Amino acid sequence: MTAPLDDVLVLDLTRALAGPHAAMMLGDLGARVIKVESPAGDDTRGWGPPFVDPATDPSGASRESTYFLSTNRNKESITLDLKDPADQEVLARLVERADVLMENFRVGVLDRLGFPVSRLHGLNPRLVVLQITGFGHDGPEASRSGFDQIAQGEGGLMSLTGLAEPTKVGVPIADLLAGMNGAYGVVSALYERERTGRGRVVHTSLLAGMVGVHAFQGTKWTVAREVPGLAGGHHPSIAPYGMFRSRTAPVQIACGSEKLWQAFARELGIDPVEDGFATNSERVANRDALTAVIEGHLADIDAETVLARLDAAGVPAGKVRSLDDVYAWEQTRSQGLLLDVEHPTLGPIQLPGSPIRLDDNPYSGGREQHLAPPTLGQHNASVRAWLDED
């Protein structure tokens, strides 16, 4: 079995989340990813709790951050002090062999370390360089540091999320989207390189990731000149489409068409052409009244019965699951979304898997076997030995 990126070598100079996530996505699809860490290690090795201590080390000296484990599978780790001339030479030798280099330093830092893009391409004209920043590589605020929560606020996402006040998404979505966009840009540049024979620089940022997912909320302003507000648990342009209380638990219901609204209304005994509810525009305008009517019908019905009835009626509906429930759910497991790996100090652990499945692989990603996130400097000797082979 081969994976799509089996012949691609990635140098991952990134830390925290956006860049490591991009590199992990390529690693999932078969790329060899060498993670270059400072001697102190990626910042996320210290982000916790929770930490997990190896059973063989009761002192906890080798504890592992579950945050780091979440975003560094399928990588090798070497430590380099990029201010040390000897280690800079090791990096230069790696650049000569690499297909991709990823970095998310602040603008200008890699240049000051002696590796501007001109030198990188002098060492390797075929190198694809990914640069992830907080607010963009140029412009009046390019020098700002990028952190997820700041980007969620500055990029407008928090102004759309929550009920009483702006709320961040429960995962670092600005980082994750920047990583996804970066990986997408890299594979596009690799494809282009097949025609041109040369690598290029791919830029993306946390800000770009936020603006890039505004979708209909963005055009609500850019075209209609309406400023969107907090959406809460309901869709701002479709009704009923959101979360509703039943007797035992909230359920999510999505009537994305008039046909679905009519099927839903008939199932609950609501007149689908009742005054104020006959069209989607009317239902959006009268959302509070509609919600009250729907929750009145659901008040004496438990959530499982609601979901079963709506499923039989062909109306999209679902639970609000906790993460332990998601990972125990057979549908999640059937999609290869959990990976069993052998960690060098923790032993067997289970990780959330890649969202991509290929037709000849029952597991997520393109690899036949996935690698556990590395310990700090785990591959120092093996990578240096590989460099010395030629």
Q: Report the phi/psi class of residue 13: left, alpha or beta, with left for phi > 0 and alpha for psi in -120 to 50.
A: alpha
| pLDDT tens digit at each of 390 positions of the chain | 689 999 999 999 999 999 999 999 999 999 999 999 999 999 999 998 899 987 555 545 568 999 999 999 999 999 999 999 999 999 999 999 999 999 999 999 999 999 999 999 999 999 999 999 999 999 999 999 889 999 999 999 999 999 999 999 999 999 999 999 999 999 999 999 999 999 999 999 999 999 999 999 999 999 999 999 998 999 999 999 999 999 999 999 999 999 999 999 999 999 999 889 999 999 999 999 999 999 999 999 999 999 999 999 999 999 999 999 999 999 999 998 999 999 999 999 999 999 998 887 776 777 888 999 999 999 999 999 999 986
Residue 263 CB contacts under 8 Å (≥ 6 apart), including other chains: 313, 314, 315
Residue 321 CB contacts under 8 Å (≥ 6 apart), including other chains: 329
Buried b (16+ CB within 10 A) or exposed e, 332-341: beeebbebeb
DSSP string, 274-303: -TTTSSHHHHHHTHHHHHHHHHHHHTTS-H
To the query of whether residue 175 is one of the catalytic residues in this protein, the response is yes
**Cα 310 to the center of its chain, rounded Å:** 31
Q: How far apart are CA 62 and CA 166, in angstroms?
A: 38
Q: How far apart are CA 70 and CA 81, in angstroms?
A: 25
Which residue, among 171, 178, 105, 181, has the nearest Cα to 143 in the 3D structure? Answer: 105
User: Where in the chain are all domains bearing CATH 3.30.1540.10?
Assistant: 241-245+250-319
Catalytic residue among 87, 138, 175, 325: 175
User: Where in the chain are all domains bearing CATH 3.40.50.10540?
Assistant: 9-213+333-387
Residue 237 CB contacts under 8 Å (≥ 6 apart), including other chains: 216, 284
Q: Report the phi/psi class of residue 330: left, alpha or beta, with left for phi > 0 and alpha for psi in -120 to 50.
A: alpha
Given 3.30.70.20, 3.30.1540.10, 3.40.50.1110, 1.20.210.10, which CATH number is that of 241-245+250-319?
A: 3.30.1540.10
The first and second tokens of residue 319, run together, are 């639970």
Read off the pTM: 0.92
100 forms beta bridges with 10, 128
CATH number for the segment(s) 9-213+333-387 = 3.40.50.10540
Place of tokens 């991952």: 12
